[in-house]
Structure 1
Amino acid sequence: MRLIAADLKVKFSFSPYSIFVIVVLLLAAQSCSTTNHAPIHKQAYHDITSRYNAYYNASEKWKATIKNIETNHKDDYREVIPVFPYTNSKETSAFGSDADDIVKRSTGAIQLHPYSNWSDDHFLLIGKSYYLKGDYEKAAQTFKYISTKYKDGVDYIAIQKDRGKKYSDVVKKKKKKKDPNKPTLKVTKNKDGTKTTEVIDNRPKRKLLIHDPARSEAIVWLVKALTAAKQFSDAEAVVAYAQSDNKFYQDYDKELLLAEADLYVKQGRYNSAIAPLEKVVGLLKKKPRARTRPTFVLAQCYEVTGNYSGAARGYKNALKGRPNYDMEFYAKIKRANLGRRSGSGSSEIKSLLLKMSRDGKNKEYLDQIYYELGEISYSESDKLSARKYFRKSVQASTSNKEQLAQTYLRLAEIDFEEEQYAAAKYNYDSCLQAMSKDDKRYTPIDFKDKMLSRLVENLNIIHVEDSLQKIAHMSEGEREKFVKKVISDRQDAEFKKQDEKDKGAVPNTLNNNNNNQNAANNSSSGSTWYFYNATSRAQGYTEFIKKWGDRKYEENWRRKDKTSTTITDETADNSTEKKDTTVDGQNAALTKDGKPLSEEDQVLQGVPLTAEAMQKSNENLILAYYNLAIIYKDDLQNYRKSLRTFEELNTRFGKHRFLLEDYYHCYLLCKDYLNNQSKAEDYKAKILAEFPNSKIAAVLRDANFLAQETERENAINNYYASAYNDYVSGALDSASEKVLYSNVRFNPNTLQPKFDLLKVLILAKQNRLDDYVQGLHKLVATTKDADIKKAAEDLLEALNKSGLPMIDLSKNPPPVDTVTKAATANSIANPAANVVSNMPTTNSALPQDSANKTAVVATNTNSKQQAVTTSTGDTSKVKTNEIVAKTTTPPRPKIDTVISNFTYHADAPHLVMVFFKDATISQTQIYGAVNAITLFDIQNFASDRLTAKSVLLDANTKLISVRQFKNKDAAGEYIKAFETHKTELLKDIDASKYFIASVSFENFSKLLTEKKSDVYEQFYLWKYNP
């Protein structure tokens, strides 16, 4: 007793009567126990010292630790909150030292007092401590040990047996009694003669003064541990076991129901969580504080499952239980949200929210209050007020980045709905900055943001070029006045900025952002203020590009050591002319003489004042209009706006370089999307009248044209392949005959330049050196194929260097075929199959009618010219006037590879393509794959800023392109990474239905033209994976 008093720091004075009562109670407790106990004096000693020393201290520490965790816990009310506030391992693991202390105390008590009735309670504390530390496996093992080892509490006989003692040395075994816990049926006879059957629950309950086994509580905690370890099926099995266990104490039914509900919430099975939560809320009716959290979780489950009336009722009931301030606020906000959804009582909800906004206690939550007010205004079709409240929400934002991202997202969505794409892009940018990359919405938003970036880029080009041309078309006097006004406004702005700086004024980020958005929305308005003036803004845009370069949208974009890496075809030609010298990061525009430009000349920089500059400006406008229309059509599916943009391009520029493609897109838009058949026929007539010889016109005249062209293309390719194989194998007469009759069999002969080169090479192998040289000169003079001409020139240059035409044939000649091989590396092996025009597809941003454009592919003719020796084997004597080519035939590629038109350039920019060869693969699967690939690229290749996009090659073949890679090797590294994750990226798609390959941009263009994915697959295997 002294030990107990010393530990509790309390002085006890027991009278004889008190001691008598304690002894009687201990005897009664022992007689009521269902397990075997030690002799009473020994049992009393171990029980008292274990209970009032180690267990008391350990349990108090446990209570204090749980209270600290609950106090520090912050719920994420955007999701259904957990049933228990101590299930976050990151939060609970911070109290590991307290948990270790509890384990230490309880372990010592078990060792010192093994017979104590509190041993199972000590084990329970140990298991709970492991749970807090996040070691759920050890926790589950401990709880399982308690439920099996201490079924009825601590058993003295079992412990003695474990220690090696004989049963006869202890006490006699008690007789096994009938199970008194089985449920019984009570039949009551009613007055009307009917009978009512009632099931009586006979499971045990906790008793006063009697120690109860810890088994039931251990089973509840076992469910919690298995749930935390995500062993959900095992946890459900334990719940089912406990519900059917007659020895499970009724007092723990509420805890078991809560553990079951938490199990379902963790799995996202909110419908299943509703039943146990409803039961436990009913059982806790008389304990409003205890039922507050379960009631709130129940309301959330109602909400996510669509039971909005039940959810509103649940949030109202949660407020009655005096929740903490966060839960109280969110209960009110969610009630307001539900009222907005149901469309009832919006004025009442608005009044409540406005009242909350005036309460100083809600300062931290103003961003959410204003957001809800904005949503209510939007639901009432008052978009002006909605924007106002959303902007207030942004302004009031402090640390809640999730809410900030959501608010910017809603602003962007409103702008997108109203087709204010430039403003929408700015808000999507801001949304992505605030949003976590782990958010499931990040990838689709980032995809849309990149799409809008391309659109805004073209809008800016149009805006800038129009503004510069407007200045160029001014009279000298008007231009002079304009320049003076710009300089004056610039000086005023500088003075104002300096004044604000002197006063210590800090510009408001939100207002700046709003001004940018307003400027974007009203760029064409007649505002006289400098920053809203279209011409002035164009000049500012030009100055920004000159100073900073065409920078990507990213953090720290102002750093001096960052350089522009994106140069379009249109600006690359002028990049040298537009370079400025910078000093300490400041723009220092210079004249050709190296002198600084005057202020007036700086303002007029970029203005197209010459005919050449105006032509270049118009070309930029034409390309921007065309790309803009394609983006409206393919990316935004805004077919009305796409048609209007195509027609505006035609109206402004008449006979421009994309006129044929423009007409064809307009034809498709009217025919397939806008249901305007008469207008579609008008565009068809224009194509047939203005471009009668184009491939597009041929397709419009004859639906079978493509099939016929493909058949003819295959015939000529096969014929050329046969001639080339004869040349490689040494059947020169047969090869020569086939070349001779090629023009007879095929008219027109689209592979004529290749046949001509093959004819010349046959002459070389036939030792007709003079004819060979003359043939090369003729090719250079007459062929229109640039690649064939280049090959012939290279052969002549090599021969000139070797002096082969003037050699002494009595000596060893130089290796002619080696020279031939080097010079024809990109000319001879494969035919040009580019017969069909590059028809505009849904994803072709820049289609061309290129029927006459052909290309050539590398060969691998591993041949070697040798001198023929005499019959005696003496290599010093060579037969005169005889040079014979000894050819080592390379591995012969498949026939389709030979006839392909694809070229191999390892250092050229590449794409990575996924070819889907099965027409049954749905577009939904393709879109899902695009989203998965986009997320994969962001996570693994973020610095490369890759873009994944779907492309329709033909009716049976769909593609996904990922661009862009510096060269073949960079694309190959990406493919290696892709291959390891392809089952995740292309899930539900059989591997036999697709193949992955890298494609150069040149070959991709040909692929869109030829529609031969199977041929490219063989070419890829031949050249990239030999």
Structure 2
Amino acid sequence: MKYYWAINTYIKHLLRFLLLIGLLAGCSLEKKSAVNRGLQNLTAHYNILFNANDLLRQKQEIYAASYIDNYSQILRVYQDTIAHSGVDKDLDAVIGKANNIINLKEQSHYIGDAYLLLTKANYLYGSYFVADEFGSYVVRNYSDRPLLSAEARNWRVRTLLNLHQLPLAKAVSDTGLSVLFYAKKKVDAANTYAARLQYDIDAGDYKEGEEMAKNAIKAVSDSKLKRRLIFILAQLQEQNHKSADAYASYSKIVKSNAVFEMAFNAELNRIRIEDTQNNVHITRQERLRRLLRNENNKEFIDQIYYQIAELYAADGKIEDAIKNYRLSINHSTKNQNQKGLDYLRLADISFTKKGDYTAAKNLYDSTLLNLSPTYPGYRTIQLKANNLQILGEQLRIIAREDTLQQLAQLNEKDRAARLDELAKIHVTEVKAAAAAATTSAFTDANAPTSSVATATTPGANTFYFYNVNSLSQGFNDFKRRWGNRKLEDNWRRSARANSDITNNTQNITNQVDPSVLPKKDQKSNDDIIAATYKQMIVQDLPLTPQNIAASNARVYTAYFNIANFYRDVLQDHKEAITTYETLLKRFPDGTEKPAIYYNLYRLYSDIDQAKSDYYKDLLLKNYAETPFAKVILDPDYGRKMNDKDAEFNALYNQVYDLYAHKQYTDVIDRTNQLLQQFPGNKLAAQLAYLKAMAAGHQEKLLPFRMDLYNILNDYPNDPLIVPLINEHLTYIDANQAELASRPVVLVDNDLYDSPFAQSLVITKTPVVVQAPPAAAKQPAANQPAKVTAVTKPANMIFSMRDSSRYYFVINVNAATTNLSSSRFGIGQFNRANYPPEAGIKHQLKYAGTDNQLIFVGVFPSLASAKDYARAIIPLMPQIMKVPADKYSFFIATQENLDKLEDKKMLDSYIDFYQKNY
């Protein structure tokens, strides 16, 4: 101790001496001298490098403590894979300290150490490309420092594995092993072997992995890492069919002071190996239940129940899994991450198995509340929770259409019997749901047990019409569109003879108590529920080839939208791959095969190179002329395509102008030319639609309806035009007699009179034009210029007050561009998705001389404006006839929208919007 005190005193005196010399030297500190080198070495090492490495050590310990291992797979060597989001002040501090050494201590011996700090900090930040650049720089430039370059090389291997660059990671690791083999002094042997071990696990080379694990165990000094390596060694020995060796390795963990999860799983695996050797056939659930009865495991009951639930879930026993996840939650008092995992599994079950998206949302929220933000995939869970409505709507479409097709395939007798059977089940479920709702009014609304209870029939969760939540939405949509109608033939016709909507539904509408009616006219509530339920099913049964094709198109589009959503929004590549491949399996002749092949080629490139090459070869072999193949063969093709799209947008606008000026014959001729000249263009369906509308002003109903069906057949997956045409066909079916009597199906007077025209022809919406001319910006000759400078911050200019008037706004940064065709596309979308009485209109205003604002509304709440935004944004590339970099979106209240008079105010609002919405 006295020696330590003496050394410490000596260092203090030395620092004072060097500080005095520094003060005397004054401005000469930048000069290269022994004094300056000594001072910079001392301050860089003790003041900066030591503190930075200590920060990194603490950060790695925090990551390791919050990392959740998956013991059903081979463990990862290092517990440093986290969800990276936002700013990390500790890692920023490390990067700042490293830059201080590089920029201010250029004469010190620690420049290489500073670059290694940057490697580590960027790795932990998740900036793997940057980390690899710094690591590579250290390896190249500091070969004279073997320890430093070896450490940098090991971090490079870890970084490259996170970048999924396995061949390059192997090459770097090979160099490290070679240096280690020939080095007179073993340099960082433990981490060299450990990094190679992780490569072997990722590459599936378990034989070499076993040897690397043994080498790393011999070389490592950290007891915690050593226990982890022993567990990994046992897992690899199992994979290599060395049961006795694996049992011995697991036993070392059981007898050590390893953390519970590791010791617990080692004991489970040891029991399994022992039972296998003794030819004892006992299920894993039974082994786990044995552990429940052991008093030594009292503190870990929640984790045991979780493992039991996982096994039931893997076997498809969903109700048993739910029960045990709940038991895990109820017994979880200390381990928040465990509780978070339970909620996550329950949320996934509600979402994927039950189709109960409200319950799923609540459970995902509980997951995020309990799970550590450093949990891998935390950000993905957050995104999924925030976007359940979008995914849920697409999954509802698939479930509904699949169910309708199943029923449509039955003969009339079997279908009627099946409908009666389903109606009885539905009545029971509705009553159960009503009883549950009544009960829940007297219980805690946030109780976790209420979140998973769904009104579905066990074993039939994928059947759409068993799901009360989905049905309630479908029933409301049906009533809004058709009213209360009796289940009968030709029920769609609004003017059918002897129309007899059921007395009972009339009584309900008129609020007449059925009990006061004559007994022969009375119907029980059960009968009403059953009849309405069957009516709702029958209305959309696809009984004709055209309807079956349309139903398949809706399923196809929904799957495609889900895959794209997983890819682009959630960035969940595995789910995106699964959905794309499901689409290929269900629809092997689908129209989007080139796009799907291309997406699978790109998505697999980071996961499985062989699969990536497989889809690439399919694309190049079978669809060599598509843009997707050309992008692979010619990296510059994307820019060329953008130029071509701009050209086609201009041509489309010319056709639209002809249509707007009622030059219908020219529209038809020009459309035929463009479709022949640009086959497969993304606007082809819209061109065909314009052509059909133009023809509708020159032909009778029958050929016009055939034109609409032809568009459905030619473009079954177009998300903008298909819903619109289905809406038109529905109206035609309901008003066939009146439309057939017309000399031409579309007449100009329809613009003002007929509701059919409001669905089909361009609607004249009020246009608010605020002067774009530059002259408006100039003061009159005899007037002083008006000062319009904004000095108040944006949060004082704009209001966050809730409003009943919200607008979805498209900001186009091109004041001279004609937006008529783009607005027509918005009108198409609105007509297909909103009834006329909703009053959803698109209008135009200018914000200065450079920006046009198309604002759509009015929406009564922020939530409804967001729903509109979620629905239309995926279609904007087809709707907007301007380059993508020229427009953006936001939501504004009427109060804030009125303030957007110039670009400065617009920019201020966009900043305000991004910070507050």
What TM-score, normalized by structure 1, do the two folds share? 0.40
Which structure features the higher share of helix residues? 2
The structure showing larger relative contact order (alpha-carbon pairs under 8 Å, at least 6 residues apart) is 2
> Max radius of gyration: which structure?
1
What TM-score, normalized by structure 2, do the two folds share? 0.43
